[in-house]
Amino acid sequence: MLTHVKTLSLWEIAHYWHDVDPRESTTHQLPLKVRDTLHVLSMWCGKKLAYRVDREKNYLVEGLKHMPRFTARHYRHSFRKAIDSKVFGKRFFSKIVISRSQLARLCDKHSEELPVFWFPDKKYSFDTATDEESKEITANGRYQLVLIYDDTDKTLETTGSEQPIVATVNGNALKAAQASHAATNKIKCRFIEYYEAKGTNYSCREAAAGHFFDSLPDPQDKFHFASRKAAIATLLRGLRNHLKKTKS
């Protein structure tokens, strides 16, 4: 039993829920019941995401206030991909965390039975859930949450007893997302230069993007994209934005 553990990742929760070892699964090799639970958790938790940062490291908080919009888009896209296409990246979902009381509140809200691995008696008291939730997710006030994005309906007022569920992401995941997009942006810039020099050799932009992607000298560059099709779409989008700027 894991009742002594205050927080777990969505990846761990989906596996422990069905008594499956989370270390044995991969992105593309998931038990069906685990995949379905990740799908449900994505719909429950994908609306609101925050970054948990040590209160003493105020300079990080200040930096995150000016965080590039592409980082927020990265997390939105990852959750949307999970919900729409049922693609669950192990690295991504291993970094998204919620607390025990948050999961209990979600299960209650959606009339779902509490999972035995975290609630052996299948019961949970909500009398102090809000306070416990705050302590669990911020480790007794040591951390504070910096909101990355919020897709919830802003017109709905939240009462004191209805603490909004905020999934949190750790610093390493945030840095990885920024690094991934930085590398992608460099590849887009390289493609723009390539197209400006050799674009006339191709029948269309898509053909140029496909050949550029296939000809990337470093195989690691291709791993920044989910697929060849996604890479071509990203390269073409970068080219279109570039051409619009040059025209204006």
Residue-averaged pLDDT of the chain: 80
Q: Per the structure, how many domains does the chain have? A: 2
The answer to whether position 11 is within a domain reads yes
Residues 149 and 43 in one domain: yes
Domain of residue 152 covers 7-169
Closest CA to 49 of 27, 64, 59: 64
Residues 146 and 191 in one domain: no
Nearest-angstrom CA–CA distance, 235 and 187: 8
Tokens of 59: 């300079």
Is residue 55 within 8 A of residue 141, CB to CB? The reply is yes
pLDDT at 173: 58
Predicted confidence band of residue 160 (pLDDT cuts 50, 70, 90)? very low
The answer to whether position 1 is within a domain reads no
Mean pLDDT, range 71-92, rounded to an integer: 84
Nearest-angstrom CA–CA distance, 200 and 8: 53
pLDDT at 185: 83
pLDDT at 170: 61
Look at 168 and 127; give whichever has higher pLDDT.
168
Half-sphere exposure of 37 (CA within 13 A, CB side): 25
Residues 124 and 218 in one domain: no
Residues 28 and 98 in one domain: yes
What is the pTM (predicted TM-score) of this model? 0.62
Q: What does R_g of the chain's alpha carbons equal in angstroms?
A: 21
Tens-place pLDDT, residues 190-203: 999 999 999 999 99
pLDDT at 57: 67
pLDDT at 161: 38
